[in-house]
């Protein structure tokens, strides 16, 4: 079925015209049969041209569910007294990082609940150094450890981390207030994104898709937010209810199929609009559909974060329900993902950092080229890290 408005937008895309907000809304809310496939095909063409048909792995170590925050949607919020808390030892974390390096993963992600105390900050600093040492500088390190002070962000960058993920969750300030306690303000989150960029990181953010009360206009604004913040990497996924959270009471019935479609459309439209950023096919997609992550890649994503956390801790790190791969181990996930990726005719960028091309573009636009070159090795400008 054809829709003249959509056809106009598609020809604008073909002619490399700049989409405006109303185009983004139209694309995001289209539900006509056949349009979704067309949208994903266009996004896939842009992905192939800008970042290639290659998936980069970031082995994620979810090393602790101890959290000082109380986000209303999240299963590991501090007030969830049903959650069995754990904190992996340094040795266990380093074993997982070594496994990633020996298995040719270019990068790892360290993620945990949020803590700001100085033993925690010191621990992460030491771990970054050790991970760099054990891999002879080869493993790229992404951190996903929430809101921290500018000083902490700089310390971790200086210790070897070069990417940071901090989701804005939603760029609509009313919605943000509805899903977070009063002490967790949106201004602070935006300030952190700026501090991360100033510290030199490749900066990642993202939103939850299909939040109660979220419109197609809100999602279009999220994409414009990514553009305004000059974001390098996007990690976004469907909102999935966790029963032990306050939002489970208010969310009502959410249809998994619709939720998945919304998330895939959001990936496709973000790829069409931002073109050269890295976009993750997040695990939450697979919680809704066994083929969710492959569908994410076919809609324009180019990053996967295989879980490399010790199996015995996986069940306790459930931010949402139905999380996949809880009983699998790192080796099973690796071969499972290899098969899935081969099936869609893409390759895996082993031994490469797979940094966001957008990051280099924004660095090259900086007036101070010396700064760029002096950070070159760390930020992956080292050619051997980015070449195929």
Tokens representing residue 187 in the block: 């201004």
Nearest to 285 by CA among 273, 310, 268: 268
Residue 162 main-chain phi, psi, to 5 deg = -130, -5
Site string for ligand 5AD, 240-269 (x = CB under 6 A): x-x---------------------------
- Distance, in Å, from the CA atom of 25 to the CA atom of 132, rounded to the nearest integer, reads 43
Indicate the residue among 211 and 305 with the shorter CB distance to ligand FES. 305
204 binds ligand 5AD (CB under 6 A): no
285 binds ligand FES (CB under 6 A): no
208 binds ligand 5AD (CB under 6 A): yes
In the list 319, 325, 333, 337, the residue contacting ligand 5AD (rule: CB under 6 A) is: 319
280 binds ligand 5AD (CB under 6 A): no
234 binds ligand FES (CB under 6 A): no
Indicate the residue among 166 and 325 with the shorter CB distance to ligand FES. 325
305 binds ligand 5AD (CB under 6 A): no
DSSP state of 17: P
Stretch of 55-63, 94-102, 263-271, 324-332 lying at the interface with ligand FES (CB under 6 A): 324-332
In the list 66, 328, 344, 362, the residue contacting ligand FES (rule: CB under 6 A) is: 328
Indicate the residue among 55 and 287 with the shorter CB distance to ligand 5AD. 287
Asked whether 234 and 278 are in contact (CB, 8 A), the reply is yes
CA 171, 172, 173, 176 dihedral sign is: negative
**Alpha-carbon distances, residue 162 vs 109, 111, 152, 330 (angstroms):** 11, 14, 13, 23
63 binds ligand 5AD (CB under 6 A): no
| Residue 234 contact among ligand FES, ligand 5AD, none, beta carbon within 5 to 8 Å by kind | none
239 binds ligand 5AD (CB under 6 A): yes
Q: Is 163 helix (H, G, I), strand (E, B) or coil?
A: strand
Q: Around 18, how many Cα atoms within 13 Å sit in the side-chain half-sphere?
A: 4
Tell me how crowded residue 156 is: count the other CB atoms within 10 A of its CB.
25
74 binds ligand 5AD (CB under 6 A): yes
- Distance, in Å, from the CA atom of 206 to the CA atom of 225, rounded to the nearest integer, reads 10
> Which residue, judged by CB position, is nearest to ligand FES in the bound state?
336
In the list 40, 333, 341, 348, the residue contacting ligand FES (rule: CB under 6 A) is: 333
Stretch of 237-245, 254-262, 336-344, 356-364 lying at the interface with ligand 5AD (CB under 6 A): 237-245
Three-class HEC string of 294-339: HHHHHCCCCEECCECCCHHHHCCCCCCCCCCCCCCCHHHHHHHHHH
Tokens representing residue 40 in the block: 């994903």
Stretch of 36-44, 180-188, 218-226, 333-341 lying at the interface with ligand FES (CB under 6 A): 333-341
Asked whether 281 and 304 are in contact (CB, 8 A), the reply is yes
Query: Least distance to ligand FES from the beta carbon of 309, Å?
Result: 11
* Residue ranges binding ligand FES (CB under 6 A): 325, 328, 332-333, 336-337
């Amino acid at each position: 079925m054809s829709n003249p408005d959509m056809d106009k937008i598609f020809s604008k895309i073909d002619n490399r015209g700049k989409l405006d907000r109303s185009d983004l809304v139209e694309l995001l809310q289209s539900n006509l049969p056949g349009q979704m496939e067309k949208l994903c095909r266009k996004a896939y063409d842009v992905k192939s041209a800008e970042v290639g048909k290659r998936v980069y792995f970031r082995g994620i170590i979810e090393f602790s569910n101890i959290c000082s925050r109380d986000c209303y949607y999240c299963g590991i919020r501090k007030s969830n007294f049903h959650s069995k808390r754990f904190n992996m030892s340094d040795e266990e974390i380093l074993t997982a990082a070594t496994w990633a390096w020996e298995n040719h993963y270019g990068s790892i992600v360290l993620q945990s609940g949020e803590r700001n105390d100085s033993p925690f900050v010191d621990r992460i600093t030491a771990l970054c150094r050790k991970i760099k040492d054990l891999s002879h500088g080869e493993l790229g390190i992404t951190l996903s450890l929430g809101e921290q002070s500018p000083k902490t962000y700089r310390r971790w960058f200086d210790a070897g981390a070069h990417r940071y993920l901090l989701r804005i969750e939603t760029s609509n300030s009313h919605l943000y207030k509805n899903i977070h306690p009063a002490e967790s303000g949106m201004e602070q989150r935006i300030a952190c994104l700026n501090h991360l960029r100033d510290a030199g990181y490749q900066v990642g953010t993202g939103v939850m898709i299909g939040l109660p009360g979220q419109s197609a206009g809100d999602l279009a604004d999220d994409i414009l937010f990514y553009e305004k913040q000059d974001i390098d990497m996007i990690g976004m996924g469907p909102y999935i209810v966790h029963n032990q959270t306050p939002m489970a009471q208010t969310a009502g019935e959410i249809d998994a199929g619709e939720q998945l479609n919304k998330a895939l459309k959001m990936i496709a439209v973000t790829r069409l609009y931002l073109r050269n950023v890295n976009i993750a096919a997040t695990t939450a997609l697979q919680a809704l559909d066994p083929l969710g992550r492959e569908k994410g890649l076919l809609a324009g994503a180019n990053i996967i974060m295989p879980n490399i956390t010790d199996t015995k801790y996986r069940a306790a790190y459930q931010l949402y329900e139905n999380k996949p791969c809880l009983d699998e181990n790192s080796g099973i996930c690796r071969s499972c993902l290899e098969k899935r990726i081969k099936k869609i005719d893409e390759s895996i960028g082993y031994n490469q950092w797979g940094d966001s091309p957008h990051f280099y573009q924004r660095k090259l636009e900086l007036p101070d080229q010396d700064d760029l070159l002096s950070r070159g090795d760390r930020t992956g400008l080292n050619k051997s890290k980015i070449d195929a």
